[in-house]
Amino acid sequence: MIETLRNAWKIPDIRKKIIFTLLMLLVIRLGSNIPVPYIDKEVVSQIFEVGQGSALQFLDMMAGGTISNFSIFALNIYPYITASIIMQLLTIAIPRLEEIAKEGEEGKKKINKYTRYGSVILAAVQAIGITMGFFNNALIAQGTLQTAIVIISLVAGTSFLVWLGDLITERGVGNGTSLIIFIGIVSGLPSTIARFIQLISVGAISIIKLIIFAIVAVIIIAIVVALQEGQRKIPVQYAKRVVGRKMYGGQSSHIPLKVLMAGVIPVIFSTSLLSFPQMISLFFTGGTAEWITKYLTVQGNVGVWIYSIINTVLIIFFTYFYTAIQFNTVEYSKNLQQYGGFIPGIRPGRPTSDYLNKVISRITFVGGISLALIASLPIILSRVFNLNIDFGGTAIIIVVGVALETIKQIESQMLMRNYKGFLK
């Protein structure tokens, strides 16, 4: 792997992309420590001390500690992800948006523009909620103008992250949005490890329980890698055809159908939607916030089960949804027939499309169920063993999945230059 990294580093354009990506991630981490004006940091710290183990801790972990710092990136990139989900659903529901989406690159640009507008609106709503709601006591702004500056700073921070994500995707390596979430989660890992070492040293947590959880985490990593790499190969035979004096076709090939075509997108989408009740709980105080925390978040005795069930359903739904967007069986079967290809034992055209649908439905179900179970299992185990671990299955899946996705992109770019890469 070290030799492969050296080879990648020797390629000028890949080296520039890696350096650019690292610099952008550094900018994100620096921005995560720029405070929003007119906010009392001592009051924010007190709120977090009182709310240990609450929904606030989970949101802060997923945001990379930006909420506890109340930095300009406190909302992270989740408003944009939520807006993307809404826009993709609207694209299916509204014919006009579907037509725009099919217009190629120009249509894609229009959809992205609408998504950005939606993310600004959602960011504004969330900014008003956390500023005037849960963190109202920390607000030291005097007058409407200063309060508006706080809200605008949060919205601008999210917009800046969206812009950086697009830059990373375009000029760097990996998916920019996924990498922003990745760096946010990973940045909180050292402090989480230090906290558990401290708790073990004072006897607050049993080391046996922690070891069991660590073993589960390793198993989850292995399963995620297996799901990402697993695929079903559908054999394809191409008929011989004569064009002029040359004969084409006659060779055998296969269609590689991945078990998890959607990657970690379903988990990111599900986490984004399920963070809404937790974010709403920050808008209120007293009985309403307690009810939301108890029944709709992982911190509640009842909520942990409701959260896990909804999380499972959403992950399975988005796995099917995103797979359907990525792989159109009707178009694929038409293209296969056009080039003289066919699946042995299956008639070309509609029967081929139906067969591919059947296969994809089965492997997607396995992938979706597996993804949902390993996302929910650590949450349930942490409640059973009373470990209060925020870095659960969802975070592990995102970190491992994004790392694999980024490595594969570097691998594909290296293979184009005849270098031996990371994955064999």
Tell which wins on pLDDT, 187 or 156. 156
First CA to last CA distance, the chain: 11
pLDDT of residue 244: 62
pLDDT of residue 116: 93
Min mean pLDDT across 9-13, 169-173, 303-307, 377-381 is at 377-381
Highest mean pLDDT: which of 70-74, 101-105, 243-247? 70-74
**pTM, entire model:** 0.79
Min mean pLDDT across 28-42, 69-83, 178-192, 275-289 is at 275-289
Q: Give CATH for domain 2-415.
A: 1.10.3370.10
Cβ proximity of 321 and 373 under 8 Å = no
Q: For 414-421, what is the mean pLDDT?
A: 62
pLDDT tier for residue 46 given thresholds of 50, 70 and 90: confident
Q: For 264-287, what is the mean pLDDT?
A: 74
pLDDT of residue 242: 60
DSSP letter for each residue of 292-334 = HHHHHSTTSTTHHHHHHHHHHHHHHHHHHHHHHHH--HHHHHH
pLDDT of residue 28: 92
| pLDDT over threshold 90, residue 23 | yes
Cβ proximity of 273 and 85 under 8 Å = yes
Quick: pLDDT tens for 105-119: 888 889 999 999 999
pLDDT of residue 101: 83
Q: What sections of 105-259 are H helices per DSSP? A: 105-132, 144-171, 176-187, 189-201, 207-229
User: Which of 24, 64, 38 shows the shortest CA–CA distance to 161?
Assistant: 24
Ordered by start, the domain boundaries in the chain are 2-415
Highest mean pLDDT: which of 89-98, 119-128, 184-193, 302-311? 119-128
| pLDDT over threshold 60, residue 419 | no
Question: What b/e string do you get for 229-248 counting C-beta neighbours within 10 Å, with b at 16 or more?
Answer: eeeeebebebeeeeeeeeee
Q: For 14-23, what is the mean pLDDT?
A: 90
Q: For 76-85, what is the mean pLDDT?
A: 89
Cβ proximity of 82 and 122 under 8 Å = yes
Which H or E element spans position 17? helix 12-31
Tell which wins on pLDDT, 160 or 202. 160
Q: How far is CA 54 from the centre of its chain?
A: 22
pLDDT of residue 327: 85
pLDDT of residue 53: 47
> What is the DSSP pairing of strand 241-243 with strand 341-342?
unpaired
Tell me how far CA of residue 300 lies from CA of 258, 285, 295, in angstroms.
Answer: 36, 16, 6
Cβ proximity of 76 and 66 under 8 Å = yes
Question: What b/e string do you get for 151-187 counting C-beta neighbours within 10 Å, with b at 16 or more?
Answer: bebbbebbbbbbebbeebbeebbbbbbbbbbbbbbbb
